[in-house]
Amino acid sequence: MQNKRLLSKEELERKYNELTALTVMEQTKVFLKGFVLEFQGNFEELMDLATQWGNFYGVSTGGKGNLGGEAPGLMIQFEAHQFLEKRGETLTVTALRENLKEITLPDKQRKVAFIEYLIWKYHKTLQELFAPPAVPPEALAALENAISEYEKALAVRRARNAEMEELERVAAGGGVKGMAAKNRLEQMRSEDQLEQNKKEILSAAAKRKAQKVVDDSEAREKEREVQRQAAMVAEEQRLAEEKRKKEAEEAKQKEESRQRLKSKASLWN
């Protein structure tokens, strides 16, 4: 197998700067596509992480946060530390960036990119991210479809959360409208529990389906490799048979020539 060309430091820095200019969710998609076979069965974990990271964006500077995956791809170090502390990951930004020694990190006004966290958390390198191995097209298509469905569900969830926040505000005001809002809230929370139960069942099924795509892809690749090996063996056998026939024909011709010379020689005796 031919060795993969390593990207230069300049190439890594250029790609890194382009990536960190994207939103949190866009960075996550790049990461997922780079390691599609590894995360196909549990991509929701990374999408949820992106949403959680985005919810910290801007809080320390007076913003409301809750931007989810739509947040810019860089946040200030203080908020990044808050995110890490919230997850029980006692890690400094300096330690986080130990994984990116292969490039010179721009100052970025002392901001941290979500992709830095993913590279640290899942023990990856920029070389692996930007020069991933080839993956079966069907595996990539399955991932993109799953991400699309996740984003649709996320948009619905956002709208629902906004509605519930408004209902809580109205319910706090009391009166007839407040009672109606409270009843509607209780109904929505009950629906959420049912939906969560359904989601867990469907999620497990989706992961099994995604894993089957990966397994099938790997099985097909193994089958193709067996076929390639069989074709090589068959070709070697064919060439060996041709060589044997050629040598046999040459030996026959030499013997016939020897016999002719022998016959001619006998005429002079």
pLDDT score of 107: 64
Domain range annotation of the chain:
1-133, 136-222
Residue 51 has pLDDT above 70, yes or no: yes
Which burial class, exposed, middle or buried, applies to 43 when counting CB atoms under 10 A from its CB (0-12, 13-18, 19+)? buried
Residue 82 has pLDDT above 80, yes or no: yes
Residue 25 has pLDDT above 60, yes or no: yes
User: 61 falls in which pLDDT band (50, 70, 90)?
Assistant: low
Instruction: Please choose, from the candidates 11, 4, 14, 50, the residue with its C-alpha nearest in 3D space to the C-alpha of residue 29.
Output: 50
- pLDDT above 70 coverage of the chain, percent: 79
Among 41-50, 54-63, 122-131, top mean pLDDT goes to 122-131
- pLDDT above 90 coverage of the chain, percent: 3
Please, are residues 124 and 30 in contact by the beta-carbon 8 Å criterion? Answer: no
pLDDT score of 197: 60
Is pTM beyond 0.75? Reply is no
**Is 213 or 141 the better-scoring residue by pLDDT?**
141
DSSP-derived secondary structure letter, 65? -
Question: Mean of the pLDDT values across residues 219-227?
Answer: 75
Which burial class, exposed, middle or buried, applies to 11 when counting CB atoms under 10 A from its CB (0-12, 13-18, 19+)? middle
Residue 193 has pLDDT above 80, yes or no: no
Q: How wide is the angle at C-alpha 132 spanned by C-alphas 48 and 151, nearest 5°?
A: 25
Instruction: Please choose, from the candidates 110, 143, 134, 120, the residue with its C-alpha nearest in 3D space to the C-alpha of residue 210.
Output: 143
**Is 73 or 202 the better-scoring residue by pLDDT?**
73
d(CA 192, CA 199): 10
Please, are residues 78 and 117 in contact by the beta-carbon 8 Å criterion? Answer: no
Mean pLDDT of the chain: 78
